Structure 1
Amino acid sequence: MIEGMTSARNPLSPAEFAAIGDGHIAYVKPILSEELNALFPQAPELEPGLSLFALLGADGLPIVVADTREALIESAREHELVTVSVH
């Protein structure tokens, strides 16, 4: 193994992962309306079972939520963020 590289058995620490992209990378995460208030406490309560999409920074901090992936991607572009999907 190359010095300084992390093996598959030793994934990046949360701090190392958060540093990737230096604030320029965000990820798209599909969520249900039941999860909304855990990520965005100020959001209104929605009926359960709605499919939403959250944009989160590499450090996991929530940025914005939308009802379509396309709207979320456009918002990320406006803020000059590169997006990746979480499966």
Structure 2
Amino acid sequence: MLLKEASSSLTKSQLAHLGAGEVGYIRKMKSDEVSRCFPEAPEIDPTLDLWALFAADGTPILLTDNRSSTFFKAAEDDLTTVSLH
């Protein structure tokens, strides 16, 4: 409830920056989604399970085929992680 109450008094800009530098999220991705978030990524085998780490504001940080790597990178960057499904 606290987040809901806080979000009603925050501007869209403030809400977008909530958790910046402190929170990152991990999400499983399909190869066809990669070019949208990681335009510099090479062609990727569509059978690979991919994992991505993003900053709280959605900025892509890491793309890997090893889920553990996302947690190591987040720890290295002092980010608290959450997983999105």
Whether TM exceeds 0.5 here: the answer is yes
Q: Which has the higher helix share?
A: 2
CA deviation map 1:53-82 (0-9, x unaligned): 111111111111111211110011011111
Aligned equivalent of 1:26, options 15, 24, 35: 24
How far the C-alpha of 1:5 sits from its partner, in A, is 1.3
* Unpaired stretches in structure 2, ≥5 consecutive residues: none
Q: TM-score, normalised by structure 2?
A: 0.79
What TM-score comes out, normalization by structure 1 length? 0.77
Report the Cα offset of residue 22 of structure 1: 2.9
Identity of aligned residues (%): 40
Give the conservation status (yes or no) of the 8 Å contact 1:24–1:81. Answer: yes
The structure 1 segments of at least 4 consecutive aligned residues displaced by more than 3 Å after TM superposition are 12-17
User: What 5-or-longer segments of structure 1 have no aligned partner?
Assistant: none
RMSD: 2.7
Partner SS, residue 84 of structure 1: strand
- Helix, strand or coil: the match of 2:36? helix
Count of residues in correspondence between the two structures? 83
